[in-house]
Structure 1
Amino acid sequence: MAVKKSELYSLLWEACNKLRGGVEPSRYKDYVLVLLFFKYVSDRYKGQRFAEFTVSEGASFDDLIAAKGKSDVGERVDKIIQKFLEENRLQGSLPDVSFNNPDELGSGKELVDKVSGLIAIFQNPAIDFRSNRASGDDIIGDAYEYFMMKFAQESGKSKGQFYTPSEVSRIIARLIGIGDIRQETGKKWTLHDPAAGSGSLLIRAADEAPMDENGDSIVTIFGQEKYPDTAGLAKMNFILHNKGTGEIKSGNTLANPAYTDDFGGLKKFDFIVMNPPFSDKDWTDGIKPSEDKFKRFDGYGIPPEKNGDYAWFLHVLKALDSNGKAGIILPHGVLFRGNIEETIRKAVLDKRYIKGIVGLPANLFYGTGIPACIIIIDKENADNREGIFMVDASRGFKKDGNKNRLREQDIEKIVQTCINKEEIMGYSRFVTYKEILEENDGNLNVPRYIQKIDDTLPQNISSHLKGGIPEVDIDSIEKLWKVSPKLKQELFTRVDEKHNVYNLATSPNEIETVISEDENIKSQKDTECGELFGAWRNAVKNVLLNINVDTNPKELIRNIGLEILHDFESAQLLDNYDVYDFLLNYWNEKMQDDVYVIKASGYEAGREIEYVYAQKKAKDESGEEIKVDDTSKMKSFEGALISREIIENEYFEKELIVLNKLREKSTLLESEIDEMREEESGDEGLLVNALNEKGDSIPKANLNKRIKELESKKTSPVMSDITKLIELLDEGNTIEMEQIVQDNSELKGYELRNKNGSFGKAKLKAALKEANEKAVMPEIYADEYNALLAYQAKVSEKEESDKAIKEAQKTLDELVLAKYGELSIDEIKHLLFNKKWMARLEGDIVDAIDQVLNELASKVVLIAKRYEHTLGEIEEKTAQSKIKVKSALERMGYIW
């Protein structure tokens, strides 16, 4: 089975937990990522000739496994990894960590346990990358990105600056136009990031470039990063994303650019992406701006000494080819700050290099909460550019802990709006250079050109005084009236023609029903759930049912995502970007794992089952006691691709109905038992003597013990005589025994003698038990005894019910397990497409429409209640309440 992203993410974080305590949080990532990288390369290239990396004996992950548990495991791991680095000329390229560091990992057994535990995590069969060669490197690379994001989230302000949120990286990658280039003879396309961090922005941009005939990107990537350790992370990132040929150099870009041409000037690049340190106060370290040998500030001006935003910006301009394109993330302040920055900004505007600006939400980036923007630069045909396309995306995000994050729909809306230059009121607009320079003096502040739509309703003073609902309030629910114009007349009645004032025409409690039962509303709901969703489902069916080794999952989701945007453009209840979000969220949650598994293993993977076993103790390679699966004791199972729930519903409906009825019965019995216990658990309760110490349950042992205690209190003449008979038998006094039997005729109903006519002790004891059952409980104990017996009977009934459930479940499990192995490819495709993927998405759409209708109904009620009582009525009611309170206080003796 191919590696699943969700499993890999979980294992990475588990590895991190192994290090908590001794290792500084900022170092977690270095240890874990070095092992992840080494495991990946070892799995992928060991034993392969002419491979991209050499993985020899003594320098593979298998050698790490052999070192587990040894007293010198830390030293061994360091030597193994160092040998690999030397053989591949990677010394100094990766984060500098030592697995034999007592300061971070402890000493003695603590270090041995930590390092061995880390190795064991990566030894997990769930992350065997040898089985993943067919599916490319997206999974491992994206897992790396996920881990970097998690670390940035946990590291806070001081350590998160090395990582650009992937959502922002994806936007820039698509907006700079790198996807439009084509392979040209003699042309080598280049992509650069002067502040590369961990390389995520570079990689996202490179992923957008077309591939050559060998499946390699046609762009060559170059990065520079100030900190060597972070540069090492970037190098690993390149390799894990199948971009190992990408260069990353360490050094201060502004003081010592690593990429220069033969004449001592800056090397020119076709594309540049960058997320530099915001408002860099140390940008002049190592450089005298007035004597900059690269002439980056000539014609623009020197940026402020304590704010390097424009220093980075001008570096990009200088390093761009004459037709070059760039995407830069900078604080929003660069768009409007004055003084020398204003001078620089106007000089840039005069050259018309800026093609687009996207204003982003605040609190999006790790390390700062200030709002930022994306500036798109395009030198090609800049002289003929008439303006800048601006987008205000500041309100499109979701909360994620203490940060904001762009949703999938926010990303796609920004990209599609910019690509299509679609002007949307309150969101996007094309602004001419004439308006920017002549009317606004070079100020680029996005809100100056795009005014936010105020969708709050002003209070209507006249309606508060006189009553009635103003028409402007009713018109605010335009979405509802657009779908069903007649609803407006059904819900509201005009009472003042002159001033367009209305009253509610129905009870507030009936509004939701009136809306949901409206024929136009029902028709529109059917259209969006049926017709529009059906059109998309038919459009993507062929793609999703023909996934193979050549399928590009990222291209697949982009294509079907754009298709759903297009197919839901005419929707009136749902926004097509909301529907897009449903698809992408499900993709990220589950669907992408399915696609990667099918890509690697084919649709036959639908027959595969994942088992959960009980654990047993065993010895590992070093003799240490560990827990392993006991394959003789299966606890549960689940389909690797198709859930058992789908199989049960599709093929075993009858068995499922029987099982569910048994479960319902058991649940009802459980409820009845709880009710019996709760009713009789008080101080005077009939079951109180059988309760446990906490008083919240009745153990079976307690129940039986109390019943036995009470039964011992039963009495009757027959019981007394039988007890006497037993005593006399022990004494050998048969004469008196015969007399007792003769005197008590009731004893003739009991079997007291053996076959030879003599009294038998076993017979007498059995008779005593029988007599006890027939005996009358003393009145003082009768109610408690009967309550205990009733409770015992109900518990026994539930036990029988649970036994039946267990047997029915076992039978169903056997049927389901057998069915997995019998599934045909056509059946697997049907179940995956119709019963899993489409069923989930259709359910999301139906739920979303219901939510929209509920919100619209709530808005109608809110508007109706807004002016339900006039100011005069409220004042009158207040006055009456005041009189009543005053009167009550006077009766209580309060006088003022």
Structure 2
Amino acid sequence: MSDNLNQQLFSAADHLRGKMAANSYKDYLLGLIFYKYLSDRQLENVIILDGQSLDKYNTPEKQTKYYRTLLASSDGKYVVAGLEDSLGYSIQPDYLFNVMVDTAKQNTFQLATLNKAFINLTTHYDQFNGLFDDIDLTSKRLGADDQQRNISISEVIKKLDVIDVLGHEGDVIGDAYEYLIGEFASEAGQKAGEYYTPHMVSRMMAKIATLGQTDRQSFSVYDPTMGSGSLMLNVRDNLKDPDHVQYHGQELNTTTYNLARMNLILHGVDLDEMHLRNGDTLNKDWPTDEPYTFDAVLMNPPYSAKWSSDKTFLDDPRFNNYGRLAPKGKADFAFLLHGFYHLKDSGTMAIVLPHGVLFRGAAEGTIREKLLRDGSIDAVIGMPSNLFFGTSIPTTVIILKKNRASRDVLFIDASKDFEKAKNQNRLTEENINKIFNAYKDRKDIDKFAHVAPFSELEENEFNMNIPRYVDTFEEEPPVDAAKVQTELIDINKKLAENASELLAMLDDLNVQDESSRALIEATKEALK
């Protein structure tokens, strides 16, 4: 399924490459895939709501014809009301994705129709407000005039039409985003400008964060640097009641914020379960109203980002317990403390950060020591390098809890547990299970895991550099001196034989030129 998605995305992207930077055309592709999802989902619901069989009406064409018939009947207004009640929106037949594809195939497609489709959704239904702003259908990057822009978008929607967005296993927006970043973003000399948490890393973090909490009848998750929302969405895969999750997320980048909204809508998250904000996580705390603490906090913030580190933050309840503020040029601990502040006493937090937070001194050392003395750091997991889009550096996942009975820390070195892929390394299911089981069992594992008591942390002056705690050194096999000596004797013998053969060849040369003869004589002397 993912191969088909990738092939079609590659093919669709080909019609935009050269016209704009990769981090721009991914916005067009993701927005159009999302609109296709809304359209296809509505058509299936028309059939289901009217009590008909999807086996009978098994293509968008058949479903659209049935939809038009229903709208033309006396029950037409009830059809629209039923869709709005069950889905939260309705799309008129002429604005369905598959109908626009048909016009594209007949060379009668008009950008104005697609633009009107976007306007209808965003003006009538609040949840779509601003979601299609990044799809600029008037942009000259699509073509110099309306005709060329029509052709560009026509070709793209025809390619995207064959993607089965409803039948895709997993996270179609997240998978598409990950593929587009990995395949094309480097063409623009960048990696899409954002860190995206790969699906398997998200899964590993979500499994750990929900351990011991899977039976909750209601669950709340918070990601203050939510990106596409993939970290939050992975939580529900581990819950026995995945339909009662409250999602709280914040994102500074408006485009990425809208991507997260798309992703949650696509995954069937109801509006009353979706609490998302477009804003600066560090500059102004959010949420401040109840609820402001959560069962799980999951984060993959930008690494070593700059922030104000203004002294007024020393009075901020997120930071005022730790004596120092994260430095201006490295906001890593500011993000960590923000997330930790919003964690419930019974919850679990998992955050991805660069390794520097484990050993850097000054203000960061002070904050780290306070966290360790409080017993707040539960585990440190060293991840492989080149896992994340946007950076090839190795990262660490830090697990935090409140009110722990112990102040020990579990160190896991998973840096060598990965599978090489085309652009990035990746975690396999086996790699995830190995990390998760080591975390759950909390026992020493030779060259992989170690439970460090607080006294050991103290001895190391609260430096948490993983090699201090997990020894992965592999001894070289002992050298067989007798074998090496025999090999050297054989090599010297062979060299002597070769030198003799070369001398004989030089003696046979009949050279008249004086300078050449002098060179040959010098060579013969060197070989003797």
Q: Work out whether the TM-score is over 0.5.
A: yes
CA distance in 2, matches of 1:128, 1:404: 26
> Could you say if the C-alpha distance between residues 888 and 128 of structure 1 is closer, same or farther in structure 2, counting changes exceeding 3 Å?
closer
Corresponding position of 1:895: 521
Q: Aligned letter for 1:421? A: R
Report 1:183-202 matches (<5 A).
Answer: 183-184=216-217, 188-202=218-232
CA distance in 1, matches of 2:327, 2:164: 50
Instruction: Considering fraction of residues, name the structure with more helix.
Output: 1
> Could you say if the C-alpha distance between residues 210 and 870 of structure 1 is closer, same or farther in structure 2, counting changes exceeding 3 Å?
same
Please say if 1:277 is aligned against 2:327. Answer: no
Structure 1 residue 91 displacement after superposition: 4.3
Structure 1 residue 427 displacement after superposition: 1.3
Secondary structure of 2:521's match?
coil
CA distance in 1, matches of 2:239, 2:141: 42
> Could you say if the C-alpha distance between residues 66 and 887 of structure 1 is closer, same or farther in structure 2, counting changes exceeding 3 Å?
closer
Structure 1 residue 341 displacement after superposition: 0.9
> Could you say if the C-alpha distance between residues 884 and 344 of structure 1 is closer, same or farther in structure 2, counting changes exceeding 3 Å?
same
> Could you say if the C-alpha distance between residues 121 and 882 of structure 1 is closer, same or farther in structure 2, counting changes exceeding 3 Å?
closer
Corresponding position of 1:60: 96
- TM-score (normalised: structure 2): 0.82
Q: Report how many aligned residue pairs link the two structures.
A: 466
Specify which of 21, 24, 28 is matched with residue 25 of structure 2: 28
CA distance in 1, matches of 2:38, 2:451: 48
The CA RMSD over aligned residues, in Å, is: 2.5
Report 1:345-360 matches (<5 A).
Answer: 345-360=368-383
Structure 1 residue 300 displacement after superposition: 3.9
CA distance in 1, matches of 2:197, 2:447: 27
Structure 1 residue 878 displacement after superposition: 2.5
Structure 1 residue 429 displacement after superposition: 1.4
Contact 1:71 1:108 in 2 (8 A): no
Gaps spanning 5+ residues in structure 2: where? 50-81, 511-519, 523-528
Which segment drifts farther, 111-120 or 227-236? 111-120
Q: Aligned letter for 1:161? A: E
CA distance in 2, matches of 1:416, 1:277: 28
CA distance in 2, matches of 1:458, 1:420: 35
> Could you say if the C-alpha distance between residues 355 and 149 of structure 1 is closer, same or farther in structure 2, counting changes exceeding 3 Å?
same
Please say if 1:118 is aligned against 2:142. Answer: no
Contact 1:22 1:105 in 2 (8 A): yes
Please say if 1:167 is aligned against 2:200. Answer: yes
Please say if 1:182 is aligned against 2:218. Answer: no
Structure 1 residue 176 displacement after superposition: 1.5
Structure 1 residue 872 displacement after superposition: 2.9
Structure 1 residue 121 displacement after superposition: 2.8
Contact 1:331 1:372 in 2 (8 A): yes
Which segment drifts farther, 454-463 or 158-167? 454-463
Corresponding position of 1:267: 292
- TM-score (normalised: structure 1): 0.49
Contact 2:348 2:400 in 1 (8 A): yes
Q: Aligned letter for 2:112? A: E
CA distance in 2, matches of 1:12, 1:178: 36
CA distance in 2, matches of 1:17, 1:244: 35
Structure 1 residue 15 displacement after superposition: 2.2
Corresponding position of 2:70: none
Query: Percent of counterpart pairs with the same letter?
Result: 29
> Could you say if the C-alpha distance between residues 224 and 128 of structure 1 is closer, same or farther in structure 2, counting changes exceeding 3 Å?
closer
CA distance in 2, matches of 1:458, 1:885: 38
Q: Aligned letter for 2:238? A: E
Secondary structure of 2:18's match?
coil
Name which one, 1 or 2, has greater alpha-carbon Rg. 1
CA distance in 2, matches of 1:15, 1:80: 21
- Identify the structure with bigger relative contact order (alpha carbons < 8 Å, sequence gap 6+): 2
Cα deviation, 1:778-833, whole Å, max 9, x if unaligned, reads xxxxxxxxxxxxxxxxxxxxxxxxxxxxxxxxxxxxxxxxxxxxxxxxxxxxxxxx
Report 1:101-250 matches (<5 A).
Answer: 101-106=138-143, 107-124=145-162, 127=164, 129=166, 132=167, 139=169, 141-153=170-182, 154-156=184-186, 157-178=190-211, 180-184=213-217, 188-211=218-241, 216-245=242-271, 246-250=274-278
Corresponding position of 1:253: 281
CA distance in 2, matches of 1:128, 1:161: 24
Corresponding position of 1:94: 131
Corresponding position of 1:74: 111
Specify which of 437, 440, 463 is matched with residue 443 of structure 1: 463
> Could you say if the C-alpha distance between residues 41 and 71 of structure 1 is closer, same or farther in structure 2, counting changes exceeding 3 Å?
closer
Structure 1 residue 441 displacement after superposition: 0.7
Q: Aligned letter for 1:167? A: M
Corresponding position of 2:57: none
Specify which of 385, 393, 396 is matched with residue 417 of structure 2: 396
Corresponding position of 2:58: none
> Could you say if the C-alpha distance between residues 877 and 127 of structure 1 is closer, same or farther in structure 2, counting changes exceeding 3 Å?
closer
> Could you say if the C-alpha distance between residues 895 and 364 of structure 1 is closer, same or farther in structure 2, counting changes exceeding 3 Å?
same
Contact 2:118 2:132 in 1 (8 A): no
Q: Aligned letter for 1:205? A: V
Specify which of 39, 42, 62 is matched with residue 42 of structure 1: 39
CA distance in 2, matches of 1:257, 1:394: 34
Report 1:303-702 matches (<5 A).
Answer: 303-379=326-402, 381-382=403-404, 384-437=405-458, 439-454=459-474, 456-465=476-485
CA distance in 1, matches of 2:452, 2:146: 67
Q: Aligned letter for 1:440? A: N
CA distance in 1, matches of 2:374, 2:120: 53
CA distance in 2, matches of 1:389, 1:109: 62
CA distance in 1, matches of 2:139, 2:502: 75
> Could you say if the C-alpha distance between residues 443 and 98 of structure 1 is closer, same or farther in structure 2, counting changes exceeding 3 Å?
closer
Q: Aligned letter for 2:275? A: E
> Could you say if the C-alpha distance between residues 121 and 891 of structure 1 is closer, same or farther in structure 2, counting changes exceeding 3 Å?
closer
Q: Aligned letter for 2:41? A: R
Q: Aligned letter for 1:240? A: L
Structure 1 residue 394 displacement after superposition: 1.0
Cα deviation, 1:16-71, whole Å, max 9, x if unaligned, reads 22222223211222212222111212221243522123213255335534654677
Structure 1 residue 422 displacement after superposition: 4.4
Contact 1:73 1:115 in 2 (8 A): no
CA distance in 2, matches of 1:59, 1:92: 17
Contact 2:327 2:363 in 1 (8 A): yes
CA distance in 2, matches of 1:417, 1:295: 31
Secondary structure of 1:375's match?
strand
Structure 1 residue 374 displacement after superposition: 0.4
Which segment drifts farther, 55-64 or 413-422? 55-64
CA distance in 2, matches of 1:93, 1:422: 49
Corresponding position of 1:772: none
Structure 1 residue 202 displacement after superposition: 1.3
Secondary structure of 1:176's match?
helix
CA distance in 2, matches of 1:128, 1:276: 29
Contact 1:300 1:348 in 2 (8 A): no
Contact 2:313 2:319 in 1 (8 A): no
Specify which of 5, 13, 37 is matched with residue 16 of structure 1: 13
Contact 1:60 1:84 in 2 (8 A): no
Corresponding position of 2:72: none
Contact 1:251 1:257 in 2 (8 A): no
CA distance in 1, matches of 2:135, 2:445: 55
Corresponding position of 1:874: 491
Secondary structure of 2:127's match?
coil
CA distance in 2, matches of 1:328, 1:161: 16
Gaps spanning 5+ residues in structure 1: where? 133-137, 466-868
Q: Aligned letter for 1:373? A: T
Structure 1 residue 397 displacement after superposition: 2.3
Q: Aligned letter for 2:280? A: N
Structure 1 residue 238 displacement after superposition: 0.9
> Could you say if the C-alpha distance between residues 162 and 320 of structure 1 is closer, same or farther in structure 2, counting changes exceeding 3 Å?
same
Secondary structure of 1:259's match?
coil
Q: Aligned letter for 1:16? A: A
Cα deviation, 1:399-432, whole Å, max 9, x if unaligned, reads 3334322233322221222222343211111111
